[in-house]
Amino acid sequence: MKKHILTGLSVLGLSAVTYSQTPKENNWGTLTGLAGADVQFYTRDSIIGAPVVPEKMRMNAFLFLNYRKGGFYAGARMEFYQPKPLLGIDERFQGQGIPYYFAGYQYKGLDITAGGFYEQFGNGLTLRSYEARQLGFDNFLQGFRVKYNVKGIYIKGVFGRMRDFWTWSRGTVRGIDAEINFNETVPKLKNSKFRLRVGGSFVSVNRPDGEKVIGQEVLALPLNVGNAAGRLNLGYGNFSLSGEFAYKFNDPSTPNHYIYKPGASALLTATYAATNWGISVGAKRIDNFDYRTDREAVGNRLLVNWVPMLNKQHTYALAASIYPYAVQYVGEQGLQADLNFTIPRGSKLGGKYGMDININASIVYGLDTTNRPSRATVFGSDTVLTPDRYGYSAGAGLGKEYYQDFNIEITKKFNKKWKLTVMYMQLWANLNVLTVSTLGKDPFVHAHIGVADLTWRINNSHSLRIEAEGMYTKQDQGSWLMGLVEWTFAPHWSVSLMNQYNIGHPVPEKRLNYPLGSVVYNMGSHRFQLSYGRQRAGVLCIGGVCRAVPAANGLTLGYIGSF
């Protein structure tokens, strides 16, 4: 349901709906498909700052077909963004065609793919190619991939160029990954409480660049940039510990301001999960880990790796899309603790169905990059001081504070008809760093957010959900209120009305309402949605990768379905 709210919020994004494949095996093999289309009609609305869309109407659409017969498989995805992509999606996607296509076969433990493929090594510190349609993010590789596994040993090799909108990256990605699952490899450990997996990966990007000129300097560039990582997953009973360390060789680039120091990243997570409670504690330190197939690429373009977020990914509108945290690949360090527990059934608080409580806290700091010597060069008739190209030497100290989030969420089902979720969140965000947001001028925001989400199951086919949210802050755009009423009459219809109200904007004329109405019709694995209203400017993040969402007003038609 929350997913639906998020979708309703980001009317510009394509809806993410999981789909189930029901293979109909016959002599001709199996064909499955997934299709989606979003059409938006834009209305002028200068008071909310909606950009004018001269095309009036834009569409994003795709059709993905996947064919399989025995060990053979093939697929392709047609994409269409015309006359331009929906607002907020990178305009360089404008166009239509079949960028993604592949064929391959599996034979026992061997799997060979030619064409486009998505892949991830470990946590993604060395390689992660994936698609996030709502973000307008797609960095699949086109080339060859080989996967092989035998007795708990998993090996992958990739060689390819990366999608760069409608062309390919100039750089080429080469990578290998190997992992041993000792519980599968060692017969004695097959049913052991002790679990052990060890893996490692190496990726090298070839970037055919000549020299780079900055000011008076001519930089010598590494043609091949390597990135290596090792990882360990250890478990015993309810306890598990996982960690990954990665080291990136010299990689001067626009995001890191052309420094040559190597990158290093460490991730560590410990989890304990018992029957009624579980805790997860994580730490990370990311130093100079922006890794791309083109050293001049910025934003979300041509990223080879992915740095996991160590913050809760919120789903409630005010918590998710005004001040979310965007992971800083060039450097950050942070901690997160996440505690879940259930007050058992039958207890005083737990009642008949128990009560779920989630407490989550995270904090992120930058690195201390102040220690950066300069270099004196006698230049013509004077001496020029240039920054030392090695870069800063980051000590163990903390840099600037980037983000803080403390939140508690309680879910209680009272009886068969009533269910309530309440959430409180306190956040602190440094907007100087989270530059995706262009919301206002005050760089430090401290906000309190409260959410109440009540579901009333009237009978087997009708249910009503009411959501109320408030955000209190004195900074930036000030406080917000949000309300939502959603009426679902199963199995087909769902109608919702939502309003967001910027009650505390420092400029009284900008204390605006953002009403949005939606109708959803479900038909098996097909879903149609029609929304009309205002979309407020904000930020959309998936896994710590973010994009700005511009303000918009208008009618949106959406379809997603599979067969």
Partner 1 sequence: MNLKTGKGLLPALLLLLTAALSSCDKVPAPYSTVASNIDTTLYPPPSFSIDPNAPRKVLIEDYTGHTCGNCPDAAVVLKGILASNPNVVALAVHAGSTFAPPQPPKYPDDWRTEVGTAFDNRFGVSSAGQPNGLINRRSVSGSPIVFHTSWANLVNQYLSEDPIADVELAVKTYFDPSTRRLVTYVHSGFVETISDEVNLGVYLVEDSIVGAQKWYNQGLVDDYMHDYVHMDMLRRNISPIWGVSLGANNAAGKIQRREWQIVVPAEFHAEHLKVLAFVYKVSNNEVIQATDVHIIE
Per CB under 8 A, residues contacting partner 1 are 51-52, 54, 91, 150-151, 153, 155, 157, 174-176, 178, 185-187, 202, 204, 206, 211, 213-226, 228, 249-250, 252, 260, 375, 377-382, 384, 386, 389-390
Nearer to partner 1 by Cβ, of 212 and 457: the residue is 212
Toward partner 1, which CB reaches closer, 222 or 506? 222
Reported in sequence order, the residue ranges of 108-140 that DSSP labels E, i.e. its strands, are 110-117, 119-121, 127-129, 131-132, 137-138
C-alpha span between 312 and 336 (Å, rounded): 9
- The least CB distance from residue 559 to partner 1, in Å, is 26
Is the CB of 144 or the CB of 532 nearer to partner 1? Answer: 144
Q: How crowded is residue 169: how many other Cβ atoms within 10 Å of its Cβ?
A: 23
Q: Based on C-alpha coordinates, what's the Rg of the chain? A: 25
Question: Nearest approach, Cβ of 210 to partner 1 (angstroms)?
Answer: 10
Amino acid at 252: P
Q: Which is nearer to partner 1, 25 or 91 (CB)?
A: 91
| Backbone dihedral angles phi then psi of residue 505, each to the nearest 5 degrees | -60, 135
Nearer to partner 1, 222 or 450 (CB): 222
Strands 141-150 and 538-542: unpaired
Smallest distance from partner 1 to CB 129, Å: 18
Smallest distance, partner 1 to C-beta of residue 550, A: 8
Three-state SS letters, 443-488: CEEEEEEEEEEEEEECCCCEEEEEEEEEEEECCCCCCEEEEEEEEE
Q: Taking the complex as a whole, how short is the minimal distance between the CB of residue 44 and partner 1, in angstroms?
A: 10
What string of DSSP letters covers 52-79? P-TT-EEEEEEEEEEEEETTEEEEEEEE
- Residue 46 vs 461, nearer CB to partner 1: 46
d(CA 206, CA 225): 7
Minimum distance from CB of 211 to partner 1 (Å)? 8
Q: How far apart are CA 234 and CA 241, in angstroms?
A: 5
CB of 53 to partner 1, least distance (A): 10
**Rounded Cα–Cα distance for residues 247 and 396 (Å):** 17
Nearer to partner 1, 348 or 382 (CB): 382
Which residue type sits at 545? V
Rounded distance between C-alpha atoms, residue 333 and residue 265, angstroms: 9
- What 3-state DSSP class applies to 396? coil
CB of 176 to partner 1, least distance (A): 5
Min dist CB 187 to partner 1, Å, is 7
Between strands 418-430 and 480-489, the pairing is unpaired
How far, in Å, are 123, 166, 237, 302 from residue 169 at the CA level?
A: 23, 10, 45, 7
Q: Decide whether 148 or 406 has the Cβ nearer to partner 1.
A: 148
Please enumerate in sequence order all residues whose Cβ is within 8 A of that of 25, keeping only pairs 6 or more positions apart, or say none.
none
Between 295 and 465, name the residue whose CB sits nearer to partner 1: 295
CA distances from 122 to 75, 95, 179 (A): 25, 34, 9
Min dist CB 369 to partner 1, Å, is: 17
Pick between residue 98 and residue 298 the one whose CB is nearest to partner 1: 298
**Which one-letter DSSP state was computed for residue 406?**
E
Q: How far is the CB of 82 from partner 1 (least distance, A)?
A: 16
Contacts 24+ apart (CB under 8 A), 49-57: 49/537, 49/550, 49/551, 50/550, 50/551, 50/552, 50/553, 51/87, 51/550, 51/551, 51/552, 53/87, 55/83, 55/84
Do residues 144 and 116 lie in contact, with contact meaning Cβ atoms separated by under 8 Å?
no
Q: Which C-beta is closer to partner 1: that of 146 or that of 530?
A: 146
